[in-house]
Structure 1
């Protein structure tokens, strides 16, 4: 069947007199089979317009602007011969896996540099305290774990994101959990021999908080593995997750990540750690609410007792 590809008209424009601008490639037609999917249509568009690779396209149909979801059949949207599908150029894209590598690499670099080269950042050298050494190992372990999960665990429901977004996303990690956190936590104010180091270095409290951190990290990993196992390789299948953590909240991965950073904030008693905890928890809570609503909208049998991120509360 033949399908017309066009850009959605500007509201209020005179549709009867509107004409394509000079050099415009829209509208144009593509041919697909009667049982074609949205992915088939995107491939046909990309074949005709080389710059519009599938991940760069957002397709919609009808006056209600129904977004066509990858993997769905065109018949699901009652699209037939000689119908018009509208396209939006999402701009240059970057793979989500690459984005994650970039985001988590920043804190690894900043914590390594600030901890190991204090003269460059503080103008002096000193011996790090036990609490500083402990936090360094835990934070480095956290972000190295995230890099390994990106490589070997995560299966992404969306292949790409707009290229410019990587700078906004990276700021959160590179600056807040990277440079800002490292600069204040590893400063001479809590170095070996200071009153603050002695106050923070209670062995029992350090052991408890380290145990909480390790528990949260391992629990977070378990939830990521659960999510991975829901999606067969090479697909974007979505299913209801069950099991450890998922029986009480929709996003236990965010819950356990929050617990991990609570332990870091409690261990350091640093305003920088507290600030990052507040910002990151707030952002994860927003994501959790969005994911929770998506689950409920997509799956009519989704468990009604689950909260989004905070058990029994929200």
Structure 2
């Protein structure tokens, strides 16, 4: 026996959407993704550009293949509101652009030292080491973006790419590179070898452990799904987001090598932002998994935050 069909009344929310259908009909046992597909087909919009909410209470309707229409509480003649989110860009593309900036900026400023600083003096060993560390870090981030990360959301508003990229291009790119490779930089002068060795060790440990946690997070989500499991493993018993903790550790290693205030400023800004993301994730884990999830007291830095 076939499942009953449900006709949903479609209403625009916000600015008008050209060709938006007045209604769509789906099976009550169909996945909610079919609602998006039917509206997208009629309006000629990407499904990722549409936000669909229940007309009764404004709660969002998931664009997922594992959620059934009848599970949402939608019934025949129920209303759904559709909002145009504007032009979209994939999260993967955003990440690639974000990390590409400093990945290119550091070598360019290093090679352009005679032009930028008006000096013919060769770069110091610590400046060369800082360049290598920064290139390794952002090359690793690009690799993870392409081959490791699985994104829960397919796209974001295209206009946000400027804001998102600014943090990396300006603070870990231009600002950090400019104050590192100049002849008056602390990295241009000799340092205590023990400080340098400690910096390299922290950087190496932080990068390797950060990569390990990204693999753990990747394996929590099956390809093509948005479902997550509870993360366990290296660092997850200490803080909500050990990937952020290890990234901070790696950047502290860079700071110990180049001894630049610009690196310290970047670390403060980065840890502040990552800390907010980590607390949001902690709240999401508690809500999503309930008593199955062991609540964390610290989100990013054990004993501190």
One fold, TM greater than 0.5? yes
Q: C-alpha separation between the residues in 2 aligned to 1:75 and 1:306? A: 38
Q: Aligned match of 1:307 in 291, 298, 301?
A: 298
Q: What's the counterpart of residue 189 of structure 2?
A: 197
Distance 1:143 1:24, change over 3 A: closer
Q: Aligned match of 1:35 in 4, 23, 29?
A: 29
Q: Aligned match of 1:290 in 277, 280, 285?
A: 280
- In the alignment, is the contact (CA less than 8 A) between 1:247 and 1:306 conserved in 2? no
In the alignment, does 2:223 pair up with 1:233?
A: yes
Distance 1:289 1:305, change over 3 A: closer
Cα deviation, 1:130-154, whole Å, max 9, x if unaligned, reads: 1111111001100000001111111
- In the alignment, is the contact (CA less than 8 A) between 2:221 and 2:228 conserved in 1? yes
In the alignment, does 2:270 pair up with 1:265?
A: no
Q: What's the counterpart of residue 11 of structure 2?
A: 6
Q: C-alpha separation between the residues in 2 aligned to 1:113 and 1:24? A: 46
Q: What's the counterpart of residue 77 of structure 1?
A: 72
Q: What's the counterpart of residue 3 of structure 2?
A: none
Cα deviation, 1:83-108, whole Å, max 9, x if unaligned, reads: 11111111110011111110000001
Q: C-alpha separation between the residues in 2 aligned to 1:190 and 1:92? A: 43
Q: Aligned match of 1:168 in 155, 163, 166?
A: 163
With the length of structure 2 as denominator, give the TM-score of the two structures.
0.92
SS in 1 for 2:123: coil
In the alignment, does 2:42 pair up with 1:48?
A: yes
Q: C-alpha separation between the residues in 1 aligned to 2:102 and 2:244? A: 19
Q: C-alpha separation between the residues in 1 aligned to 2:286 and 2:264? A: 32
Q: What's the counterpart of residue 106 of structure 1?
A: 101
Cα deviation, 1:220-270, whole Å, max 9, x if unaligned, reads: 000000011111112212111111111121111111111111222232221
- In the alignment, is the contact (CA less than 8 A) between 1:126 and 1:191 conserved in 2? no
Segments of 5+ residues of structure 1 without an aligned counterpart are: 11-20
Q: What's the counterpart of residue 218 of structure 1?
A: 208
With the length of structure 1 as denominator, give the TM-score of the two structures.
0.89
In the alignment, does 2:138 pair up with 1:143?
A: yes
- In the alignment, is the contact (CA less than 8 A) between 2:185 and 2:260 conserved in 1? no
SS in 1 for 2:207: helix
Q: C-alpha separation between the residues in 1 aligned to 2:297 and 2:237? A: 7
SS in 1 for 2:189: helix
1:64: Cα distance to partner? 2.9
Distance 1:63 1:82, change over 3 A: closer
1:163: Cα distance to partner? 0.1
Segments of 5+ residues of structure 2 without an aligned counterpart are: 1-5
SS in 2 for 1:32: strand
- In the alignment, is the contact (CA less than 8 A) between 1:107 and 1:179 conserved in 2? yes
- In the alignment, is the contact (CA less than 8 A) between 2:20 and 2:42 conserved in 1? no
Cα deviation, 1:61-120, whole Å, max 9, x if unaligned, reads: 144311112222222221011111111111110011111110000001110101112122
SS in 2 for 1:41: helix
Q: C-alpha separation between the residues in 2 aligned to 1:150 and 1:124? A: 37
